[in-house]
Amino acid sequence: MPMLPNPSAKYRPFPQIDLPDRQWPSRTITTPPRWLSTDLRDGNQSIIDPMDSAKKNRFFDLLIEVGVKEIEVGFPAAGQTEFDFISGLVNSGKVPEDVLLQVLTQSREDLIKRSFESLEGAHSAIVHLYNAVSPAWRDIVFRMSRDEVRDIAVRGAQMLVDEAAKRPGTKWHFEYSPETFSTAELDFSLEVCEAVMNVVGPTKDWPIILNLPATVEAATPNIYADQIEYFCNNLPNREAAAISLHTHNDRGTGVAAAELGLMAGADRVEGCLFGNGERTGNCCLVTVALNMYTQGIDPGLDFSDIDRVIETVEYCNELPVHQRHPYGGELVFTAFSGSHQDAIKKGFEAHDQQNDEYWRVPYLPIDPADLGRNYEAVIRVNSQSGKGGFAWVLQQGQGLRLPKRLQADFSRHVQFMADELGRELNAADIWDCFRQTYYLQVDKRRFALVDYDESRASDGTRIFTGTVEVDGEEQRVSGRGKGLISSVLATLRDTFGLDFEVTDYSEHALGTGVDSRAAAYIEFACADGRTGWGVGVDDDVATAGVRALLSAANSASHGPGTQRF
C-alpha cells in the first residue's frame, strides 16, 4: 500500500480556556432549564425534503403535547411556504398563551422586516437574530474586520428595536446568537453581545436571550463549559440576559456539552427531538430531558408515550430514529446476551419484593414503563442468550416459572435451536421448543393421560386408576403408593417397566383467581443413572402433577423430545 500523508497534520489542537478557578466541575444540575425546540427551524433546514405546512403543524402540535414552551417555528424569510406556515400559525388561535413562538433571521434589513411581518398579530414572540463571529467566518464568509462584524450585529439589533416599536400590540422578546461562538475569541463574543445589549436595553424583567452556539462542535465538552462559565462571569449586566445553549453533535458530544454548559451557568437549552439537525444533528432534547429524570429531576417535558413521539418525528422528518438512540431507540431496553438477561430478570424479581419505589434494575437505567414501553421487549433471545432469557420469555408469555435446574436443562435445547436457525427466537419459537422438549405437544408423545381417579385403600395407601394413551391406544392402568405421585410411579414401573424416582417436585398457579391453572415440574432419576424433567399443566394442580409424571415417562422412555424446525 502506498504511504499516505498523516491527516492529523491538517488540524490544530483546540486551545485551552484560561479559567483557573472554574466552578462548573463541582456543580450539579438541580433544576430543568428553559427548553427551546428548533425542530421546525434548525431541524427543518437540514432534512432532505423540508416539511410542508401540514407536517409542520403536526410537529408543532406534538411539541405542545410534550410541553415545550418556546418553539422556533421557522425562518420566515426563507420562502413563501415558511412565511405562510408561521403567519397561519399566529392567526390560527391554537398557540397557547404560555407558549412563545420564535423565528430566526440573518442580520439583514429585508429579512428582518419579513420576519416581523410573519408574526403580525402574535400576542408575544421571540425574534432571533444571528451572525457568525469566529475568525474563519469573518475572514472567509464576510471578509470583514472584527469591528465590521460587530456592526452587523448592532445594525440588526437596532432593526429589531425599530420593527418592534411599530407593533406595540405584541410583547416582543429578542434573542441574539453570536453564531460560531465556540470557535470565536471569547473577548470578541462578549464585545458583540454587550454591543447588542446596549442597543436593545434589556432588564432583569425583560431579559435578552444570548444564545451561545457550538455551531460546529470543535472541542471536548469541558472546553464548551469553560467558555460558558467565562462568558457568564464576564458579561456586564448578566441578570438582564438569559444564557442559552445551542450545541451541535459533530464530535458526538452535543448532549454532554449542553449538560456541562448548564453546570457552567446557562439557563436555557435549544435542540431537536432525537437530535435531528445539521450534519450530525443538534443537541437531543429528549436525551437531555430524560437524563434529568434519572437524576431525580422532573424535566418538565412529557415523554410518557415515547413511541407516539417517535412516530410523529419520523413521519415529519422522513428520517428514522436509530434503534440505539438513547431512551427512544427500539433496542435500547432490550438485552440479547445471557448475563444481562440474568441480571435484568433478577432485578425485576427484586423490584417486586422491595418496599420502596427506587429503580434499581441492572442494565436498565430507566423504567421503560415511564416512557410508555412494556417489558416484553426487555429480553429477546438469540444465540447469545442464556437460561434467564428464555425463562423470562416463558414467564411473560405463558406464566411458567421454571425451577433453576429445569432452566439449565431446557437451555441446551434453546441454544441448539438458536444455533441451527441462526436468527432471533421469538416467544412462539421458545414455547414450541418447550412443548416439544417436555412432551406437552399431543402428536409427539408416547404416553398421554386421558383421565384418572385416586382412592384410598383400607391400609391408608393411595390407589391410582386411570386411562393412559400409549402410542395412540387407550389402556386402563393402576398402581398403589403412599401418595398420588408414588402411586403413579408404581403404575409406570409395574405396567411399562419405567423405573425412575422423583428427585425434585414443584408447582405453582398460573395467574390468580379461581380459574387459574397450575404448572408442575418433576425432576427424575432413572435406575440406569439418566436424569431429566417432566412438566405438566392443568386446571387442577394434582392433575398437573400427574401430567408432569407422564411427561417424565416420555423422556425416560426415549429421551427428551427433539425439535423440528
Ligand X SMILES: CC(C)C(=O)C(=O)O
Ligand Y SMILES: CC(=O)SCCNC(=O)CCNC(=O)[C@H](O)C(C)(C)COP(=O)(O)OP(=O)(O)OC[C@H]1O[C@@H](n2cnc3c(N)ncnc32)[C@H](O)[C@@H]1OP(=O)(O)O
Binding-site residues for Mg(2+): 42, 246, 248, 282
Q: Which of residues 204-243 bind ligand Y (CB under 6 A)?
A: 215
Stretch that binds ligand Y, among 107-115, 251-259, 490-498, 546-554 (CB under 6 A): 107-115
Residue 360: name the closest of 294, 287, 297 by CA. 294
Residue 177: contacted member of ligand Y, ligand X, Mg ion, none (CB under 5 to 8 Å, by partner type) = ligand X
DSSP E strands: which ranges in 133-226?
171-179, 208-214
CA angle 283, 38, 265 (to 5 degrees): 55
282 vs 415, beta carbon nearer ligand X = 282
Phi, psi for residue 10 in degrees, rounded to 5: -80, -10
Q: Which of residues 226-255 bind ligand X (CB under 6 A)?
A: 246, 248
Contact 441, 435 (CB under 8 A): yes
Give me the residues paired with residue 187 across strands: none
Stretch that binds ligand Y, among 25-33, 73-81, 250-258, 478-486 (CB under 6 A): 73-81
**Which 3-state string (H, E, C) describes 121-149?**
CCCEEEEEEEEECCHHHHHHHHCCCHHHH
CA angle 232, 234, 240 (to 5 degrees): 60
150 vs 246, beta carbon nearer ligand X = 246
* Buried b / exposed e along 116-139 (16+ C-beta atoms within 10 A): bebbeebeebbbbbbbbbbeebbe
Q: Pick from 45, 280, 337, 467: which binds ligand Y (CB under 6 A)?
A: 45
Contact string (CB under 6 A) for ligand X, positions 200-219, x = contact: -----------x-x-x----
Q: C-alpha grid cell for residue 412?
A: 441446551
What number of chain residues touch ligand X (CB under 6 A)? 10
Residue 213: name the closest of 252, 145, 268 by CA. 268
Q: Pick from 33, 37, 42, 182: which binds Mg ion (CB under 5 A)?
A: 42
Asked if residue 39 binds ligand X (CB under 6 A), the reply is no
Asked if residue 78 binds ligand Y (CB under 6 A), the reply is yes
The DSSP code for 328 is T
Cα R_g (the chain), whole angstroms: 34
Stretch that binds Mg ion, among 39-47, 82-90, 293-301, 417-425 (CB under 5 A): 39-47
- The CB-of-251 to ligand X minimum distance in angstroms stands at 14
42 vs 70, beta carbon nearer Mg ion = 42
> What strand order describes the sheet that includes 462-470?
447-456, 462-470, 473-481
- The CB-of-103 to ligand X minimum distance in angstroms stands at 11
Q: C-alpha grid cell for residue 317?
A: 422528518
Asked if residue 75 binds ligand Y (CB under 6 A), the reply is yes
Q: Count of residues for the chain?
A: 565
Q: Pick from 24, 59, 75, 130: which binds ligand X (CB under 6 A)?
A: 130
Contact string (CB under 6 A) for ligand X, positions 57-96, x = contact: ----------------------------------------
Contact string (CB under 6 A) for ligand X, positions 167-196, x = contact: ----------x-x-----------------
Q: 119: helix, coil or strand?
A: coil
Contact 363, 380 (CB under 8 A): no
Residue 404: name the closest of 396, 395, 518 by CA. 395
Residue 152: contacted member of ligand Y, Mg ion, ligand X, none (CB under 5 to 8 Å, by partner type) = ligand Y
Residue 180: name the closest of 133, 222, 245 by CA. 133
The DSSP code for 282 is B
- The CB-of-563 to ligand Y minimum distance in angstroms stands at 57
Give me the residues paired with residue 272 across strands: 284
Q: Pick from 102, 115, 118, 131: which binds ligand Y (CB under 6 A)?
A: 131
Residue 75: contacted member of ligand Y, Mg ion, ligand X, none (CB under 5 to 8 Å, by partner type) = ligand Y
Give me the residues paired with residue 453 across strands: 465
Q: Which of residues 150-179 bind ligand Y (CB under 6 A)?
A: 152, 179
Residue 467: contacted member of ligand Y, ligand X, Mg ion, none (CB under 5 to 8 Å, by partner type) = none
Residue 108: contacted member of Mg ion, ligand X, ligand Y, none (CB under 5 to 8 Å, by partner type) = ligand Y
Distances (CA, A) of 290 to 268, 320, 370, 377, 559: 16, 20, 10, 20, 51
Residues of each annotated binding site: 42, 246, 248, 282
- The CB-of-298 to Mg ion minimum distance in angstroms stands at 27
Residues of this chain that bind ligand Y (CB under 6 A): 42, 45, 75, 77-78, 106-108, 111, 130-131, 141-142, 152, 179, 215
Residues of this chain that bind ligand X (CB under 6 A): 42, 104, 130, 177, 179, 211, 213, 215, 246, 248
Residues of this chain that bind Mg ion (CB under 5 A): 42
